[in-house]
Structure 1
Amino acid sequence: MIDDKSCLHSISQGNEEALEQLYNNYCDRVFNTLISYTKNEEDAEELLQDVFVSIYNTATSFKFNSSVSTWIYRIAVNKSLDFLRKKNSQKRSGIFTSLYVKHSSEVKHETPDFDHPGVKLENKEDAQQLFKAIDSLSENQKTAFILTQVEGLPQKEVAEIMKQSRKSVESLVQRAKTSLRKELEKLYPERGK
Structure 2
Amino acid sequence: MNDQDLIIQLKKGNPEAYKTVVNQWKDMIYNTVLGILQHPEDAEDITQDVFVQAFESIHQFKGESKLSTWLYRIAVTKSLDWIRKKKRKKRFGFIQSLFTGESLEPIELPEFHHPGVVIENKENASVLFQAIQKLPENQKVAFTLNKIEGLSYAEVAEILETSVPSIESLMHRAKQNLRKFLADYYEKSKD
Q: Identity of counterpart residues, as a percentage?
A: 46
Aligned mate of 1:120, from 115, 118, 138: 118
Of structures 1 and 2, the one scoring higher in RCO (CA 8 A, sep 6+) is 2
- Which residues in structure 2 correspond to 1:9-158 (within 5 Å)? 9-102=8-101, 104=102, 106-158=104-156
Greater mean deviation of Cα atoms: 119-128 or 164-173: 119-128
1:160-186 CA distances to partner (integer Å, 9 max, x unpaired)?
A: 000110010011011000000000001
The aligned counterpart of 1:187 is 185
Measure the CA separation in 1 of the matches of 2:41 and 2:188.
36
Question: Once the two structures are superposed, what CA deviation does each residue of 1:68-106 show, in whole Å capped at 9, x if it has no partner?
Answer: 11111000000000000001111111112222224x463
Which sections of structure 1, spanning at least 5 residues, go unmatched?
none
Q: Give, in angstroms, the shift of residue 4 of structure 1.
A: 2.3
Q: CA deviation at 1:5?
A: 2.4
Q: Tell me, yes or no, if the aligned pair for 1:37 and 1:80 is still in contact at 8 Å.
A: yes
Q: Which residue of 2 aligns with 1:161?
A: 159
Q: CA RMSD in A?
A: 1.6
Q: C-alpha deviations, 1:126-160, integer Å up to 9, x for none?
A: 11111111111111111110000111001111100
CA deviation after TM superposition for structure 1 residue 190, in Å: 9.5
Residue 110 of structure 1 and its aligned partner are, at CA, apart by 2.8
Q: TM-score, normalised by structure 2?
A: 0.93
Count of matched residue positions in the alignment of Structure 1 and Structure 2 = 189
Give the C-alpha shift of residue 26 in structure 1: 0.5
Tell me what 1:8 maps to. 7
**Counterpart amino acid of residue 148 in structure 1:** N
Instruction: State the distance in 2 between where 1:27 and 1:90 align.
Output: 28
Rounded to whole Å, the distance in 2 between the matches of 1:123 and 1:5 is 40
